[in-house]
Amino acid sequence: MTVKIGFVGYLDVRGIRNNSEIELAENTSIEDVLARCGIKPQHRGYIVPYVNGEKQMLSYPLQDEDSLYLFLPVGGGRPSAQPAANGRYYGAPHY
């Protein structure tokens, strides 16, 4: 079966080009695709998969002509050491 796959640019996917079509065996799950992409099992839970625009579980079995998009939310970072105009700091506490 053929599935179109897309992913955010900072997701390290091996052997598959972004916005390309890949050939898969029938009943291949999203987790199977992540394994094929070289994504470590301990990292797979951070990826949010969408199939045909709907959020799905990693166990979801893909179907012929599905469109799979892999999203990796990013958060965090270091807050600015400078206070806001009102003199207060926002975000994580400063140590």
CATH number belonging to the domain at 2-71, selected among 3.10.20.30, 3.40.1170.10, 3.40.50.620, 3.40.1000.10: 3.10.20.30
More confident residue, 95 or 61: 61
Percent of the chain at pLDDT exceeding 70: 77
Tell me the average pLDDT across 57-74: 93
- At 12-42, the pLDDT tens digits run 788 888 999 999 999 999 999 999 988 999 9
Q: What is the pLDDT, as a whole number, of residue 14?
A: 84
What's the pTM value of the predicted model, to 2 decimals? 0.75
Beta bridge partners, 43, equal none
Tell me how far CA of residue 39 lies from CA of 5, 15, 30, 45, 88, in angstroms.
Answer: 15, 11, 12, 10, 41
